[in-house]
């Protein structure tokens, strides 16, 4: 029997391959063999902006979820939340890399060094007003019920969008969506199970779950309003009009809430998608200070 000093050494030796699994190898590349050229008739700047929208939602929600590591109610939930956050981070990396390859990075490019890939430049060297995420993913969680209700709403919306994006004319977006659908199906199911458990649990868990629903619902006002970029890319066969998924998302949420003995508030009126244009509250600035702090202090560092 060989005693290993670390879990990493054990995993490495167990597989007989120094680079296997522990170091992120051995997984299928979702973009392997995919044509990365921009389809004819598709505006490169619009495609880059759209990938930023989708990528920023994933990146910011991933960061919010990591705030629950060491704080979740169960050890098993620590692992689940970490895996969901990593799934979203993976989606964000692919989308930001696509945005960087086809669109203008603006100030982000001037802040990046030659050793920083475009995806890192976009994640770490943009200010809050350059992010294109929705308010739904920005606000901090009040408690665990809030985190699960938000994850339920966000994953339901994102799953509906990415399921349709599998038919996008942009092969890269279509490949990213195909990979993301399987992940988001799990995310939505996991969140739904928690919402059912909390809503139909004790008086206290029900109270907190209902409070979370009431707090999250107004944050969906911008979700289903298309931007000019989205409308142009819908016409080009690349994007999804967010209003087209409204009914599906609302049906899913209504069913989960009803089974969890929770009441859905009135649907908020549609609002202009200000978050997609870079208008954000102080919560995003605070989140980015944590996310970007190390990279900005040592912009040329590698590890």
> pLDDT digits over 140-172, tens only?
998 999 999 999 999 999 999 999 999 999 999
Cα–Cα distances in angstroms (integers) from residue 64 to residues 34, 60, 216, 238, in the given order: 31, 6, 14, 29
Average pLDDT, the chain: 88
Model pLDDT for residues 262-299, shown as the tens digit of each residue? 999 999 999 999 999 999 999 999 999 999 999 889 88
Cβ distance 284 to 138 under 8 Å? yes
pLDDT for residue 26 is more than 50: no
Number of H helices, E strands in the chain: 12, 0
Concatenated DSSP letters for 48-102?
A: HHHHHHHHHHHHHHHHHHHTTTTTSSSHHHHHHHHHHHHHHHHHHHHHHHHHHHH
Residue 131 has, within 13 A of its CA and on its CB side, a CA count of 30
Cβ distance 120 to 271 under 8 Å? no
Residue 128: what pLDDT?
Answer: 95
Cβ distance 64 to 287 under 8 Å? yes
Q: Confidence class of residue 30 from pLDDT cuts 50, 70 and 90?
A: confident
The first and second tokens of residue 136, run together, are: 């739904």
Residue 9: what pLDDT?
Answer: 46
User: CA-to-CA distance for 54 and 277, rounded, in angstroms?
Assistant: 13
Residue 34: what pLDDT?
Answer: 87
pLDDT for residue 89 is more than 60: yes
Rg (the chain; Cα; Å): 20
Residue 162 has, within 13 A of its CA and on its CB side, a CA count of 27
- The 10 Å Cβ neighbour count of residue 145 is 26
The CA-based angle 287-293-295, given to 5 degrees, is: 125
pLDDT for residue 110 is more than 80: no
Average of per-residue pLDDT across 28-57: 91
Which range among 104-118, 123-137, 242-256 shows the weakest confidence by mean pLDDT?
A: 104-118
Smallest CA-to-CA distance from 252 within 155, 141, 165 is with: 155
pLDDT for residue 190 is more than 90: yes
Residue 32: what pLDDT?
Answer: 81
pLDDT for residue 192 is more than 80: yes
User: CA-to-CA distance for 200 and 194, rounded, in angstroms?
Assistant: 10
Model pLDDT for residues 43-80, shown as the tens digit of each residue? 999 999 999 999 999 999 999 999 999 999 988 999 99
Query: Tokens 């998924």 belong to which residue?
Result: 245
3-class DSSP assignment, residue 25: strand
User: CA-to-CA distance for 152 and 257, rounded, in angstroms?
Assistant: 10
Q: Is the pTM of this model over 0.85?
A: yes
Residue 179: what pLDDT?
Answer: 96
**Domain residue ranges in the chain:** 47-297
In the CATH hierarchy, which fold is given to the domain comprising 47-297? Answer: Ferritin (1.20.1260)
Q: Greater confidence, 66 or 104?
A: 66
The CA-based angle 112-63-154, given to 5 degrees, is: 120
Q: Confidence class of residue 238 from pLDDT cuts 50, 70 and 90?
A: very high
pLDDT for residue 90 is more than 60: yes
Return the top range by mean pLDDT from 3-7, 104-108, 249-253.
249-253
- The 10 Å Cβ neighbour count of residue 33 is 7
Q: Confidence class of residue 251 from pLDDT cuts 50, 70 and 90?
A: very high
- The 10 Å Cβ neighbour count of residue 8 is 11
pLDDT for residue 97 is more than 50: yes
Concatenated DSSP letters for 113-162?
A: -TTS-HHHHHHHS--GGG----HHHHSPPSSHHHHHHHHHHHHHHHHHHH
Which range among 54-63, 121-130, 203-212, 234-243 shows the weakest confidence by mean pLDDT?
A: 121-130
The first and second tokens of residue 57, run together, are: 């939602």
């Amino acid at each position: 029997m060989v005693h290993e000093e670390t879990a990493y050494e054990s995993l490495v030796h167990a597989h007989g391959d120094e680079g296997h699994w522990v170091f992120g190898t051995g997984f299928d590349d979702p973009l392997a063999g995919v044509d990365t050229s921009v389809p004819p008739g598709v505006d490169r700047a619009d495609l880059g902006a759209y990938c930023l929208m989708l990528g920023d939602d994933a990146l910011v929600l991933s960061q919010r979820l990591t705030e629950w590591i060491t704080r979740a109610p169960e050890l098993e939930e620590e692992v689940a939340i970490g895996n969901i956050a990593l799934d979203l981070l993976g989606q964000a990396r692919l989308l930001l890399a696509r945005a960087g390859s086809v669109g203008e990075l603006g100030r982000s490019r001037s802040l990046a060094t030659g050793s920083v890939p475009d995806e890192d430049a976009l994640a770490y060297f943009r200010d809050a007003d350059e992010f294109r995420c929705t308010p739904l993913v920005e606000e901090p969680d009040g408690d665990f019920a809030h985190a699960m209700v938000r994850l339920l709403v966000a994953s339901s919306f994102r799953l509906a969008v990415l399921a349709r994006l599998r038919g996008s004319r942009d092969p890269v977006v279509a490949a990213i969506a195909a990979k993301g659908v399987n992940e988001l199906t799990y995310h939505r199911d996991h969140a739904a199970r928690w919402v059912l458990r909390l809503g139909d649990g004790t008086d206290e868990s029900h109270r907190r779950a209902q409070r979370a629903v009431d707090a999250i619902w107004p944050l969906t006002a911008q979700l289903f309003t298309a931007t000019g970029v989205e409308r142009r890319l819908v016409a080009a066969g690349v994007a999804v009009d967010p209003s087209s998924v409204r009914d599906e998302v609302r049906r899913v949420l209504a069913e989960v809430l009803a089974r969890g003995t929770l009441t859905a508030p009135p649907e908020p009126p549609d609002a202009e998608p200000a978050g997609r244009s870079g208008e954000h509250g102080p919560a995003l600035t605070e989140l980015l200070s944590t996310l970007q702090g190390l990279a900005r202090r040592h912009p040329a560092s590698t590890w």
